[in-house]
Chains A and B, each alone.
Chain A
Amino acid sequence: MKTIITSAGNKLSSQFELRFGRAEWFCLYDEESGKTSFHENMHIDDGHGAGPKAAEKAYELGAAKVISGDFGPKAKDILTQMDIQMVIVDNDNQTVKDIINMIK
């Protein structure tokens, strides 16, 4: 199963990002292979609709789960319809690596 973790940077040591649609990077973690890849958020500066675009990206990347600080109503709507599980971690004082260790 693949999981997306919102991240402030493109390294495992980067800080976990609480915002979903406005996260700078998405870390894709594959539980089976243990591999990670980082994908830049191209819609971070869009005036509106960054959330739905991030949800779209999550589906494209084949994620079954997304971990972030919160999800806006528009993103939530699409993630629900795409059957992608949303997990809220309300603590940004962690690295992406810390989050991965939590779900391992």
Chain B
Amino acid sequence: MEEKEKIATPDELQEYFINMGPQHPSTHGVLRLLVSLKGEMVQSVQPHVGYIHSGIEKMCESITYPQIIHLTDRMDYLSAHINNEAVCLNVEKALEVDIPDRIKVIRTIMSELTRIQSHQLWWASFGMDLGGLTCFFYGLRDREKVLDIFEETCGGRMIVSYSCPGGLMYDIHPNFQKRVKDFIKYFRKILPEYDQLLSGNVIFHERSKGIGKLTKEDAISFGITGPSGRASGFSCDVRKHEPYSAYDRVHFNEVLLTEGDTFSRYIARIEEMRESMNIIEQLIDNIPEGPFTVKMKPVIKLPEGEYYQRVETARGELGVFVISDGNKNPYRVKFRSPNFCNLSVLDHISRGFKIADLVAIGGSLDLIIPDIDR
């Protein structure tokens, strides 16, 4: 007699491990996730990082402050300008340098352009992760326009190194204001297309609503900042709480949502692009006249002490902590990177979901690997 073939029920399935990465396309870099599965249900996720650890904090101990700027570009390469600004603000705060309004306003406009292009790339790759290849073309097409503005003014497209302690490397290009205004006009028209393509898409809703829920308490305890934290209702926008540069003179809303799932993390970023455009529109016509740099000493030495500067990058709160012993090199530099903290929550919020949802959750956290490894 033939024995009836037995089909295993989910309770009887054996637990097994697979490696997602370090060369998996949805990890957007060299991130290795050791995923424990039962069937296709995720039991736990262990991130293994360090594949591109470059020892930036150690390198900073042997170089001068103006040189550190160029290393910070390489951490979160999509928020390059905001990283530069964080170090500059910290040095200027320590030396008590008064920065003219022109520099503050230009820095703020550049920061917001950086935020827009970062969210554009995120939108492009997030859509592609979930199967919508058109998103990738749309996102990158529009991002090129911002990168062209950067190229004209800073010389670099991604790695801009535009701020330096005491001001900016160069003045803005004569075309800058016109091109930014053209871009805002163009992008205001194009952003509803993004909504048509993904935000209102039924398949996308099925893939993202209710997936990877993060409560407000957990967001605070894990230190999840940026759009990911604000999607859970954690009010953590440094631009509002500790305004730097010209953020105290512009009106904008902090995007706060309550659900904390993948879909609300998506909406938070889309809305942030709109807020960024509002900020730029308020400033672009009112760039004050004046010098683009303040004369600093040729060798910058920070007084003995500890200095902490927080800024809001496209992914959350970046902290630059400098301990100075009075020399031209810092004694110790610590970068509190937003992605490092955001990664730590991945295990917590993806347990119990399917492995395909892990791709959606990882994409919605918008991880940049060089910023984790530093």
**A and B interact physically:** no
- Residue numbers of A with Cβ under 8 A of B are none
- Residue numbers of B with Cβ under 8 A of A are none
